[in-house]
Amino acid sequence: MNTTWCSYVNSITRQVSSKVVWDKVRKIFCCYSDTQNISFLNYNGQVISDAKEIGNVIGQTLSEISSESSYPNDFIAFKKREEQKSVDFLPSYAEDYNSTFSYHELKDALRKSNPTSPGPDQIHNNMLKHLGESSLLTILLLFNRIWEERVFPLSWLKAIVVPIPKPGKDKQDPNNYRPIALTSCLSKLLERMVSARLMHVLERSKWFVPSQSGFRRRRNTIDNLLKLETAIREAFVRKKHLVSIFFDIEKAYDRTWRYGILRSV
């Protein structure tokens, strides 16, 4: 056991995801998360215990959260008018980020992929990582056809939605669950390759605000906390006032206007 543990510790590098490391530690100490089925829910004053009804209630609740009913009426009218306009992209094929993907990009994205649960096709990342070169080249050919023809496989749009209870919340309330969508690992692999290119362009062109730490390589929330601490200490030293505003948008991801983002891009 000690030899195995030492071997694993020595294999940890800066490229290894912290999530993977902690998953290993939890398994060693048998600290598994509570993934038991939902036994019952309290919904509109009724106790629901049937598995199918529980699924329907949670599905309806999640659908209502991301529906237009949460928007103000004036924005709904504006949204409907704007979405009648087509979003036309005029790609410049001379730019390097529009070129076909290389085998190196595929291998790099595959190396950084986490052992997440598979989607509806049941293809796991570990399966992809053990494929030979000829099979990976076939996948690369598929990815480049999708990239050039701009036709996304319909089967990759399907997902297995798993409701996860929010920590410290009443598990009997359907509003206290967040959805985790398990999509195709092949789709996520292609997304990772596209994301790597976009991040490279954004960083190279310095389009990020210098103070942004989220969704950037080698940055996290600690960077912003250190900046805040520095500002507080400087205010004390200079005997000045400092105002800090914390802005949190409720259910921001669920209510994001995706069409508006595409238009802005």
Query: Does residue 232 sit within a domain?
Result: yes
Neighbouring residues of 21: CB distance < 8 A, sequence distance ≥ 6: 12
Query: Does residue 9 sit within a domain?
Result: yes
pLDDT given at position 219: 85
Query: Does residue 139 sit within a domain?
Result: no
Inter-residue contact 190 to 146 (CB < 8 Å): yes
* Poorest-pLDDT segment among 88-92, 102-106, 120-124, 140-144: 88-92
Q: For 10-17, which contacts have Cβ atoms below 8 Å and span 24 or more sequence positions?
A: 15/111, 15/112, 17/112, 17/114
Q: Is the pLDDT of residue 212 over 90?
A: no
pLDDT given at position 5: 67
Domain of residue 246 covers 209-264
The 10s digit of each residue's pLDDT in 178-201 is 889 999 999 999 999 999 999 998
Query: Which one has a higher pLDDT value, 65 or 235?
Result: 235
pLDDT given at position 190: 97
Inter-residue contact 40 to 48 (CB < 8 Å): yes
Q: Is the pLDDT of residue 209 over 90?
A: no
Q: Distances in Å between the alpha carbon of 62 and those of 57, 118, 213?
A: 9, 22, 29
Residues facing residue 161 across a β-bridge:
181
Query: Does residue 8 sit within a domain?
Result: yes
Query: Does residue 13 sit within a domain?
Result: yes
The 10s digit of each residue's pLDDT in 4-60 is 667 777 777 776 777 777 777 766 665 555 445 788 898 888 888 888 898 899 988
pLDDT given at position 28: 63
Residue 233 three-state SS: helix
- The band of 142, judged by pLDDT with boundaries at 50, 70 and 90, is very high
Overall domain count for the chain: 2
Query: Does residue 246 sit within a domain?
Result: yes
pTM of the model: 0.75
Query: Does residue 248 sit within a domain?
Result: yes
Average pLDDT, the chain: 86
Query: Does residue 121 sit within a domain?
Result: no
Q: How many CB atoms lie within 10 A of CB 110?
A: 18
pLDDT given at position 250: 75
Number of helices (H), then strands (E), belonging to the chain: the values are: 10, 4
Query: Which one has a higher pLDDT value, 36 or 72?
Result: 72
